[in-house]
A and B are shown apart, each in its own frame.
Chain A
Amino acid sequence: MELSPFQLLEVMVAVAALLMLGTTNVRTNLTMFAAHTTFLAITAAAVGHIRHEHTLYAIAIMFFLIKAVGAPYFLRLIMKTIEVKLDIGAYIPTPIALHTGIILMGVSYLLARELPGAYVSADATYGAAASLSLIFVGVLMMVTRRLALSQIVGFLVLENGIFMFTLVKTHGMPMAVEMGILLDVLVVVMIAGLLLFRIKKSFEHIDVTKLTELRD
């Protein structure tokens, strides 16, 4: 199997995200998130280069600054302030989560082959498979992790997956729309981050499974 450099980049994005499932160390998770988001930003710039769309360069730079630098930095700041290092645990053990992620990556490749749609180069299957895989990883993180901080990271991975899907499957959304979406995501992370302080203050932990005061 031969991969072009561009396809390799796309696969790298998915693999870097997949590695996040392999550890519950929050700091490593954030580093891996930053790495995978950086790969995604480079992919965006590469797509811009292939399609000669210069607005994509600007989007890639904004994406890099907000998601690969800003969000991880902000989350690390919170991590230090509320003193969490390890996720208190997941519903399923990390090795099983990682293997589920790998299986889902295979599933997303099968799904991506079935999807019709616009193509960047000759074949968008790898890109689409990577983006679906990101969405799976994000959902898996949100569902299995108990730490509220990890849920925010999972949400960001999910958003990255959707961004990548837009990148490889469409001719690109208008610049203003992409910026609006980025801004919305940024605000979600900021509000959720500030809420984390409040949760820590009121509950003295940020374990979402123990947030069960409200029920019928």
Chain B
Amino acid sequence: MNVLLELSVIPLIAALFSAAVRSRIVVRRTVAVLMWAQTALALYLLLPVFNGARLAMPSADFLIDKTAASFIILTVIVVSASVTHASVLYGQERQTHDSRMFFAFTSIFMVAMIAVFTCNNLAVMWICIEASTLFSAPLVYLERTKTAVEATWKYLIICSVGIAFALLGTVMIFAAGQSTANSEGSLQISQLVLNAPKLDSSLLRLGFVFCFIGYGTKAGVFPLHNWLPDAYSEAPSPACAIFSGALINCALFGIFRISQIVLASKNGHIGFEMMAIVVAGAISALAASLFLINQHNLKRMWAYSSIENVGIMLVAIGIGSGSLFLLQAINHSVAKVAMFLQSGNVIRVTGSKRLSNLHGLISFAPEQALLLALTTCAVMGVPPFGTFCSELSVLVSSADARLWVVAGMLIVSLTVSFIAVCLHVGRIVCGTPRPDYRRLPAFTSCAMPLLLLASSLALGFLFNSHVWNLLK
């Protein structure tokens, strides 16, 4: 038995179970329990990695290092939290779509995402990232409305074409290792990093550009982000939470692996390629914050906030700091998953995604309003939440690297987005409620967002302490 197989068993069972069993109640309860079992299993299997243990993998094409292990654990927790919330949500009201489909596809989708982080081979990683697109497309389509069809089409086609370019880039990096006579070349990331200075520099650069465009499309880098707000606004909230909290990390992880090869080829100096990542990140963050000003849809707003965070994470990757990338990814995922789940609650209370229909939540459902406001703080990086520490660290590091323009752009985008989002959320919380709002059971619907919010708070306090040093 190898780790990859062991981590796939429970999700595959969950997928088969939800496809085969007809009772929705049994399915949603069982899958939620299975997902937490998966979390426990992932922690049990992967925690030894932080003590330097090497795990048994199917071949040399797979490898789990500390960063990968952290991301797998993060992904599993994100999926478990979202599935649990979905399970509660589906129990409270009749859904327009088949909830069994949600659980089945989420489970397979999770396997694809876990596989992305275990890859030590560029081409295998490409296959896994493409597979994650394919298994997540049905999640966008779940509501089966006209707009959902449109969003799914855009998602599938734009991401597939984008990722096709990443395949071209992968082939070019492969060819870069074969430019000298008698060299076999390798697709294994560890081999490529080791032999990086010997790679053909022009092919490596071309390959990097194509890979960055490809995986950047999947991550939602401006100006290739078009599909992202559409998909987020149409997918059900728990699926959005997984997209934002886990899928984005997969694509960024791909860019991170490529950047490791590029960085090694320059002996650790930040060259043209890394600067390209930093600049693309800063521009994405700035553009997303400007898009945030004029928003009319609650979920589209958080989608743009995700793009902004992608920008910040790209800056962290471009500086060459994997640990900073991981830090921002963990904090963003935890806060944003809480946000999407809570937004789902708000949408159920008000029955609308349009910001113009959302008013006066504080007088109708104070607990939901309070949680929404607090989660907004967590997402936007208000101290003492974890996102504050990570965003500040990225800022400080970019200033340390003497990237003044980039640091300035980040400050502007963080400020603009904070003001814009606070205004929008302020309008939701205050004012007079509309008469058609519905009540939600406070405890069950708030449990999961509250738990994640507490985690985000804990991450803020744990920063720079023993746990963080272990991850580093």
Q: Mark A residues whose CB is within 8 Å of B.
A: 115-118, 135, 142, 148, 151, 155, 158-159, 162, 165-166, 169-171, 173-174, 177, 180-181, 184, 187-188, 191-192, 195, 198-199, 202-203, 208, 211, 213-214, 216
Contacts of B141 in A (CB 8 A): 195, 198
A46 to chain B, nearest CB (A): 19
Contact in complex: B153, A199 (CB < 8 Å):
yes
9 pairs across A/B with beta carbons < 8 Å? A116-B203, A165-B168, A177-B127, A184-B131, A195-B141, A195-B152, A198-B141, A213-B146, A216-B300
Whole-angstrom CA separation of A170 from B187 in the bound complex: 11
- Which listed segment binds A: B172-180, B247-255, B433-441? B172-180
Query: Is the CB of B147 closer than 8 A to any CB of chain A?
Result: yes
Q: Are A214 and B230 in contact (CB under 8 A)?
A: yes
Given contacts A180-B127, A184-B131, are A118 and B171 in contact (CB under 8 A)?
no
CB–CB B134/A173 < 8 A:
no
Q: Which of B156, B160, B202 contacts A116 (CB 8 A)?
A: B202
Q: Is the CB of B175 within 8 A of A117?
A: yes
B220-254, CB < 8 A from A: 229-230, 233-234
* The one of A117, A173, A202 that contacts B179, using a Cβ cutoff of 8 Å: A117
Asked if A171 contacts B185 (CB within 8 A), the reply is yes
Cβ-defined contact, A155 with B154, below 8 A: no
| Assembly CA distance A174 to B121 (angstroms) | 11
Kindly list chain A residues whose C-beta atoms are within 8 Å of the C-beta of B131. 184
B residues within 8 A CB of A188? 130, 134, 156, 160
| Distance A180 CA – B187 CA, assembled complex (angstroms) | 15
Which chain A residue has the least Cβ–Cβ distance from B59?
A176
Bound-state CA distance A115–B172 (Å) is 10
Residues of chain A within 8 A (CB-CB) of B146 are: 202-203, 213
A169 CB → nearest B CB, Å: 5
CA distance A146 to B108 in the complex (A): 33
Q: For residue A210, which residue of chain B has the nearest CB?
A: B150
Residues of B within 8 A of A181 (CB): 123, 126-127, 167
Whether the pair A214, B149 counts as a contact (CB closer than 8 A) is no
| Given A116-B200, A195-B152, A199-B149, also A142-B161 (CB < 8 A) | yes
Which residues of chain A are within 8 angstroms of B178 by Cβ–Cβ distance? Answer: 117-118, 170-171
B124 adjacent to chain A (CB < 8 Å): yes
Contacts beyond the supplied A170-B174, A195-B152, A211-B153: 5 A-B pairs with Cβ under 8 Å: A162-B168, A177-B121, A177-B124, A181-B123, A213-B146
B171 contact from A148, A158, A162, A199, Cβ within 8 A: A162
B151 within 8 A of A: yes
* A117-B200, A211-B154 known; A180 vs B184 contact (CB < 8 Å): no
B164 CB–A CB distance under 8 Å: yes
Contacting pair B294 A191 (CB below 8 A): no
Contact mask for chain B residues 67-91; partner A; CB cutoff 8 A; 1 contact, 0 none = 0000000000000000000000000
User: Which among A142, A169, A173, A198 is the interface contact of B187 at CB below 8 angstroms?
Assistant: A173
**Residue pair B184, A171 in contact (C-beta under 8 Å):** yes
B458 contacts chain A at the CB level, 8 A cutoff: no
CB distance from B13 to the nearest CB of A (A): 22
Is residue B63 within 8 Å, beta carbon to beta carbon, of the partner chain? no
Min CB–CB distance B438 → chain A (angstroms): 26
Q: Nearest-CB distance from A118 to chain B (Å)?
A: 4
Residues of A with C-beta under 8 A to B157 = 142, 151, 155, 192
A135 to B156 alpha-carbon distance, docked (Å)? 19
A158 to B167 alpha-carbon distance, docked (Å): 11
- What CA separation (Å) do A35 and B187 show in the bound complex? 31
Determine whether the beta carbon of A191 is less than 8 Å from that of B123: no
Instruction: Report Cα–Cα, A202/B147, bound state, in Å.
Output: 9
Contacts of A171 in B (CB 8 A): 178, 184-185
Q: Is B295 an interface residue (CB 8 A)?
A: yes
Taking A170-B185, A177-B124 as contacts, is the C-beta distance between A195 and B171 under 8 angstroms?
no
Q: Are A177 and B187 in contact (CB under 8 A)?
A: yes
Q: A170-B175, A187-B134 are in contact. Are A162 and B167 (CB under 8 A)?
A: yes
Q: Whole-angstrom distance from the CB of B355 to the nearest CB of chain A? A: 12
B153 contacts A116, C-beta separation under 8 Å: no
CB pair B160–A202 under 8 Å, yes or no, is no
Within 8 Å CB of A199, what residues of B?
Answer: 149-150, 153
Supposing A117-B203, A180-B124, A188-B160 touch, asked if A213 and B134 sit within 8 A by C-beta, the answer is no
Q: Determine how close the nearest CB of chain B comes to the CB of A135; give it in whole angstroms.
A: 7
Instruction: List the A residue with the shortest CB-CB distance to B129.
Output: A184
Is the pair B151, A214 in contact by a Cβ cutoff of 8 Å? yes
| Docked CA distance A180–B131 (Å) | 10
Shortest beta-carbon distance from B319 to chain A in Å = 30
Residue from B124, B144, B171, B185 whose CB has the most chain A CB atoms within 10 Å = B171
Residues on A with beta carbons closer than 8 Å to the beta carbon of B137: 191
- Separation of A166 and B126 alpha carbons in the complex (Å): 14
Given A116-B200, A117-B200: A208 in contact with B127 (beta carbons within 8 A): no
Q: Contacts A117-B179, A166-B171, A216-B229 hold; do A177 and B123 have CB atoms under 8 A apart? A: yes
B50 proximal to A (CB < 8 A): no
Cβ–Cβ < 8 Å partners of B185 in chain A:
118, 170-171
Determine if B149 and A198 form an interchain contact, defined as CB atoms under 8 angstroms apart.
yes
Instruction: Tell me whether B291 is interfacial, beta carbon within 8 Å.
Output: yes
Cα distance A214–B301 in the bound complex, in angstroms? 14
Residues of chain B with a CB closer than 8 A to A192's CB: 153, 156-157, 160
